[in-house]
Amino acid sequence: MRRIIPAFFAVLLPFSAFAQKSSAPEFDIADVHVSLRGDWVKTTRHAMQGGFLAGDRYDVTRATMLDLIQLAYRVAPDKIYGGPSWLDYDRFEIRAKTKRGTSDAVLRQLLQQLLESRFALAVRTDQRGAPGYQLRKSQTEWKPKPSDVDAAHSGCQQVGPLSRDGATRITNVQCRAVTMASLAESLRRLFPSQLGDLTIADATGTEGHWDLDLPIPARAQSAADAGLIEALDKVGLKLERSTISQPTLSVESVNETPSANPPGIESSLPPLPAPQFEVAAIRPCTEGYTGAPRFEPGGRVTAICMPLVSLIRDAYNLLPAQTLIGMPKWTTTARNITIVAQAPADSSPNLQDASRARETLNAMLRTLLADRYKLAAHYEDRPVDAQTLVAVKPKLTKADPSTRTGCVWQNLNHPDGKLWKHWTCQNMTMSQFAEQLQELNPDLAYPVLDGTGIEGAWDFSLEWDLDAALSAILRGVTGSIAQVGDAADPSGTVTFETALEKQLGLKLETHKRPEPQLIIDHLEEKPTEN
């Protein structure tokens, strides 16, 4: 994939100050508007959704401009330079219509033209050398097999439960109908910590689509670790460190507010019907392990020995700390179920696109549960314990207003053997930081409001013991956020709450306020017949 990007850019970047606008393809009609802040801030999944064709519709929701540029030009976010500070923060909605079966390459052209016409986006392309890896053939026997799986369902994913080889945990990665270029991209996606999230370029010189399996020992902590290297070597592949020439984009100008929509847009672009499985079988659990709902190559979907309550939570994207209201008493003792289903060909996502796969699968689960269990539910604002960010003795650095607003995080293995999380934010207001906190702390069930009274934008970083937070959740610790932090302090660990107060001079206070709650109105105990 990386190997062919330069040619791809030559085809798809005709407008860097020398394009003929009249020749650029356009969507038949498009609705472009700013995401309502109250919607995306209170969404449990803050990330962009969509960016693919369903029938004749192309929808993108909660996308930052950085997301949209990445979609349009197929360039990694860290290869997009410049632009205004809001590039990776403000969010937008796109609903558009085009011809069924339009290829991904043409869809990118359509999106490029839309961004140029509605946001006055102008970019400049370039090539820069950066550290990376080359995927090459090794001296061992070539093990990948020519694939007979439809290339539209190609991809790599972890399959089944983790297995063990003696005392070593093995992660089984199954790849089907992959090119060597898409395999290189999958390795980067599946093992970002081991590979440093560096670009991997295909240098195997091998064409075609292949099937292969990679049993990767969990001890592989870096690209140099023998576990990861040996797993690739066993199938005839190797990774070599190299300087990779990579395509980059520089954002020269873009408007924060899109131009107005054409009149009558609502009637021309009605909401899409809910996606559903082509066929689905529900039966009592007989397997000896559990497996969360997931797509498999070919559009097959499985959910193995899952509680019905868990399936409902998955279908509605509920966070661990969020409760379901109105569940029948029988669900506490109901037997786990297994689902085996098939998605329609035009609704089965490429497994490389995890966001699309999760969005599509959850929507299909909601339809299935409504059809087979007669599930009916609605959201309703009810008073709950929720958090407000307040100032104690702020320790913040004034931001450079020209830097891009946003936060990045990384996991750190400390010398004490514990896993720590390090979060760095730049050019961020306290209101924007409060909006990030639900992503930082899995124990926060609802969005955090800013009550600091601190004006302006700031730079800061935060570091805490992730193992302590996860252990507290696994131990079933309950109560307010402050109580969770206090419970861990005597052991000498640094929880998220103690880090927030000691490192930034901020803290979370718990207050009653109305927040949307998922209310179960009806649920049958037994599904309708297969």
Q: pLDDT for 67-82, tens place per residue?
A: 999 999 988 888 899 9
426 — phi, psi (to 5°)? -135, 150
Give the span between the Cα atoms of 146 and 125, in whole angstroms: 36
Sign of the torsion angle spanned by Cα atoms 77, 78, 82, 87: positive
Average pLDDT score over residue span 166-171: 61
Is the confidence at residue 8, as pLDDT, over 80? no
Q: What is the pLDDT of residue 116?
A: 97
Mapped to the 3 state alphabet, what secondary structure does 264-317 carry?
Answer: CHHHHCCCCCCCCCCEEEEEECCCCCCEEEEECCCCEEEEEEECHHHHHHHHCC
Confidence bin at 42 (pLDDT 50/70/90): very low
Q: What is the pLDDT of residue 413?
A: 66
Give the span between the Cα atoms of 518 and 380, in whole angstroms: 7
Is the confidence at residue 375, as pLDDT, over 90? yes
Q: Are 394 and 510 in contact, with CB atoms under 8 Å apart? A: no
Q: Are 242 and 134 in contact, with CB atoms under 8 Å apart? A: yes
Query: Tens digits of per-residue pLDDT, 402-428?
Result: 899 988 877 666 666 667 888 899 999
- Global pTM reads 0.68
Query: Tens digits of per-residue pLDDT, 113-148?
Result: 999 999 999 999 988 888 889 999 999 999 999 998
Closest to 497 measured CA to CA, from 521, 460, 469, 517: 469
Tokens of 23: 């020749």
Closest to 235 measured CA to CA, from 191, 180, 158, 166: 180
Task: Name which residue leads in pLDDT, 492 or 256.
Answer: 256
52-66, 212-226, 376-390: range with highest mean pLDDT: 376-390
Confidence bin at 491 (pLDDT 50/70/90): very low
Confidence bin at 522 (pLDDT 50/70/90): very high
Confidence bin at 160 (pLDDT 50/70/90): low
Is the confidence at residue 253, as pLDDT, over 80? yes
Is the confidence at residue 45, as pLDDT, over 80? no
Q: What is the pLDDT of residue 249?
A: 92
Q: What is the pLDDT of residue 178?
A: 92
Based on the number of CB atoms within 10 Å of its own CB, is 72 exposed (0-12), middle (13-18) or buried (19 or more)? buried
Confidence bin at 169 (pLDDT 50/70/90): low
Weakest-pLDDT range from 72-86, 153-167, 447-461: 153-167
Q: Are 338 and 303 in contact, with CB atoms under 8 Å apart? A: yes
Is the confidence at residue 227, as pLDDT, over 80? no
Is the confidence at residue 161, as pLDDT, over 70? no
Is the confidence at residue 187, as pLDDT, over 70? yes
Is the confidence at residue 202, as pLDDT, over 50? yes
